[in-house]
Amino acid sequence: MKVLRFPLVRITIGFIAGLLLAYYLILSAELVFISLGITSLLFISTYYFAIRNPKKTTYFGITTYLLACSIGMLTQTLHTESFQKNNYTNYKNVYNKPQLIDFIISEKLKTNNYSDRYIATINQIDEKIVSGKIIVNVRKDSTVLNLEIGNCVRVKGLLIKNLPPKNPNQFDYSKYLNNKHIYAQLYTENNQITISPELEKSIWYYAARIRTKIIRNLEQNHFNKTEMNVALALILGQQQDISPEIIKDYQYAGVTHILSVSGLHVGYILIFITYILKPIPNTKRGSTIKLIAIILSLFSFAVISGFSPSVLRSVTMFSFVALGNHLRRSVNIYHTLLVSILLLLLFEPAFLFDVGFQLSYLALFFIIWLQPVLKAMWSPKQKFTIAIWNALTVSFAAQIGTLPLCLYYFHQFPVLFFVANIVIIPFLSIIMILGIIVMVLAAFDIVPMFLVQILEISIYYLNKIINAIASFESFVIRDISFNTYLLISSYLLIITAIIWLKKPNFTKLALTLISIMLLQITFIANRKNTEQQIEWIVYNVSKNSMITERSGKDVILFATDTTSNMIKNNYALTSYLVGNFASLKNKERLKNLTYFNGKKIMIIDSSGIYSKKVKPDILLITQSPKINFERLLKNTQPKLVLTDGTNYKSIQHYWKQTCVNEKIPFHSTNEKGFYKLN
């Protein structure tokens, strides 16, 4: 694999290894600086040794990668905001009582049914200077209060620390926020907010003003709201206001990537800018002017679109391509890719843990590496057929490269992705070129009505086509169980197979066959491991009490509501089944007395009826029954008390205090999450 021979590849791998070590091991700053000092000394020593002994460069190579690893650890440590002394997480009692919090709105998020949501940067807590990012949730009511980017806001409220998921195998939103250095959320209402008349006029403020101006001008030209929101996502990467139905259609059709501004979109922008700059002569001065104009335009677009990882990756990479063209040098696409990765991770190592960042780089790498192999399998003669074949091979290369990661994160696969990608390319080309023109003109208040109408009609038919493809739901394979071991073995198979296809020989074929065997062994090991597991789980759900009993891959559901609709829309149950390679064998009504693994479990529901003769090991209370709790404990003498999410929080607090007084262990799923017995 020639790409691995580049020194920059191995340096990048060392740097990323350092980021991962510091992230997962949570290394102290002192240890990181000691490591950096030692590796720097070793690097300098081996460098001079290599100069004196040119044939002995192995030690210099090793210390170079160790130094890259140490720099990666340092970068991750310095960028972890919770390690900084003035971060609000280090403020005493920050999560224990309401505080007077001053913050600046920096980004608007997608709203939900209950709240308008924003990312904000804290300036002060109780007049003490602190720093750090939070999510602000402003409850929706009849009062209209539109917070804008740059608003300085004061709220008296309680910061709530990000909590892990309360049901097994669910998406860990707290980890997702922590990776973005957001460690808490604030819930407030309009009447509790005080907005300063002064605005924080940062680059984000001006970018938001430009976006607001564009939206206002499009609305004045009667751009349909549904199509306009899709246009803003396609051109500017603003997905906050797209309806869930449209996002679902794009997911089922396998074209969600076009709603996230990436290399395809930035490529269109580069073509558009290059065309505008064509009249400038290709002299030394003219070429310099073109280069500066292209780079400024690309990074201005990145700012306006919100600096998402995919946009930054594409803008950085295309900037290096433009620089290579300016210097009249052939640009090695692998080097460009690696330099963009290093630059982005040096300035923001959190991008490494961003799903969009991972998928975009994998897709681009496999397009560069695999697409020529697929393209060479057939050589059509007609131009139309060539265009279709090129589109197919690009789509297949990207899909093959990202498939294991998509299965790992999303657990579904749209079979018709290649059909959707081929069909939408003509529409997307028109929409992107026309959309860029419309957005630029709208920013200057001179957008013609007929251009807006053409763009609106194009997006309308694009949505219709995608909706038609997405309507074949049987072609969307959902709830696919896929874990880390399968992810690694799948990529090992894909990589060895591509290496063999490029230059077939016996050794490469043997490695491919070994990879296939390893993937099969992984499947068998997963199945065997699953069959050996037994567990009993109480879930944290608010309306319908729910318990699962699993023996191997067979799961029995016990619930107060066992209707088909409840099972179909039960996200907690689906996540558990997918995460454990399991299937639902049966569903039953919740019983008042059950046994599991030698434990006697009594369940008391809203009726409050129980047998005084039963002495359970575990007492589970659901549906907020009206009972004398002290008498219940005296009669049943449980070894553990459980309460699920169907109970009122106020009464659970009383039960907990009573259990503490009686020295009986107490577990509330509202506080501690699901309870597992195995």
pLDDT score, position 264: 67
Alpha helices in 163-224 (DSSP H): 173-179, 203-220
Residues belonging to the chain: 678
| Per-residue pLDDT at 283 | 82
d(CA 512, CA 26) in angstroms, rounded, equals: 36
d(CA 297, CA 315): 10
Cα 416 from Cα 25, distance rounded (Å) = 41
Q: At what angle do helices 284-304 and 263-276 cross, to 10 degrees?
A: 140
Maximal C-alpha separation, the chain = 96
- Three-state SS for 119? strand
If you write DSSP's letter for every residue of 216-243 in order, what string do you get? HHHHHTT--HHHHHHHHHHHH---TT--
The pLDDT value recorded for residue 205 is 82
How far CA 48 is from CA of 45, 57, 60, 70, 301, in Å, comes to 6, 10, 9, 20, 45
The contacts of residue 49 (CB under 8 Å, 6+ apart) are 56, 59, 60
CB 584, CB 665: distance < 8 Å: no
d(C-alpha 360, C-alpha 313), whole Å: 8
Predicted local distance difference test score (pLDDT) of residue 4: 56
Q: Which two tokens stand for residue 228?
A: 């306009």
Burial label for 201, CB within 10 Å (0-12, 13-18, 19+), is exposed
DSSP 449: H
What's the CA dihedral at 257, 263, 266, 271 to 10 degrees? -120
CA distance 539 to 188: 28
Residue with tokens 């005296």: 634
Strand partners for 235: none
Q: Which two tokens stand for residue 296?
A: 């400024």
H/E element, 115: strand 115-125
CA atoms within 13 A on the CB side of 425: 14
Nearest Cα neighbor of 460 from 229, 261, 219, 213 is 229
What confidence score (pLDDT) does residue 331 get?
A: 62
DSSP 131: B
Any idea what DSSP says for residue 476? E
Strand order through the sheet with 593-596: 593-596, 599-604, 618-621, 640-643, 666-668
Looking up tokens 């309680």 gives: 158
Tokens found for residue 533: 């597991």
pTM for the full predicted model: 0.86
Distance CA 91, CA 542 (A): 33
The whole-angstrom separation of Cα 376 and Cα 492 is 23
Three-class secondary structure of residue 579 per DSSP: helix
DSSP 8-state class, residue 553: T
Continuous segment of H or E residues that includes residue 613: none
Contacts of residue 511, Cβ cutoff 8 Å, sequence gap at least 6: 496, 499, 500
Please answer whether residues 599 and 556 qualify as being in contact, where contact means their C-beta atoms are separated by less than 8 angstroms.
Answer: no
pLDDT value at residue 261: 67
One-character DSSP codes across 312-380: HHHHHHHHHHHHHHHTT----HHHHHHHHHHHHHHH-GGGGG-HHHHHHHHHHHHHHHHHHHHHTT---
Cα dihedral 534, 536, 541, 543 sign: positive
Cβ atoms within 10 A of the Cβ of 406, count?
A: 22
| 10-residue mean pLDDT series, the chain (678 residues) | 65 92 89 93 89 81 91 92 86 87 90 88 90 92 76 92 92 91 91 86 82 87 89 80 85 78 72 82 84 85 71 77 71 77 88 85 87 88 82 84 92 83 76 85 87 90 89 86 94 94 92 96 93 93 90 92 74 91 91 91 90 90 92 92 92 93 93 92
The radius of gyration computed from the CA coordinates of the chain, to the nearest angstrom, equals 29
The continuous run of DSSP H or E covering 659 comes out as helix 649-662
- The sign of the CA dihedral 141, 143, 149, 152 is negative
Q: Which two tokens stand for residue 538?
A: 């109480």
The residue behind tokens 């279709």 is: 388
What pLDDT, on a 0 to 100 scale, did the predictor assign at position 485? 94
CA 101 – CA 155 distance, rounded (Å): 5
Residue 537's H or E segment, with its range, is strand 534-538
